[in-house]
């Protein structure tokens, strides 16, 4: 999900490369990363050790 959004915004910045699109894409990538961090906090509280074990086996993006 989030990697797809990231790739889409990077592609749009490259395809329509003007300063507005590049800044907009970078801002969206940063905001999506912040959303991921907040979701990880929630999941840690909701699932505790089970989610912590999952995080050790799984990378955040790839």
Q: What is the chain's mean pLDDT, rounded? A: 91
Task: Judge whether 12 and 5 are in contact, CB under 8 Å.
Answer: no
Rounded to 10 deg, the angle between the 49-57 and 19-47 helix axes is 130
Q: Rounded CA gap, 40 and 24, in Å?
A: 24
Residue located via tokens 């003007």: 18
Q: Which of 46, 47, 36, 27 is nearest to 3 (CA)?
A: 36
For 2-30, the pLDDT digits (tens) are 889 889 988 988 888 888 888 888 899 99
- The pTM of this model reads 0.77
């Amino acid at each position: 999900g989030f990697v797809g959004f990231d790739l889409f915004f990077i592609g749009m910045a490259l395809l329509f490369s003007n300063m507005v699109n590049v800044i907009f894409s970078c801002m969206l990538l940063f905001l999506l990363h912040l959303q991921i961090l907040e979701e990880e906090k929630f999941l840690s509280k909701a699932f505790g050790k089970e989610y912590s074990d999952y995080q050790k086996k799984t990378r955040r993006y790839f």
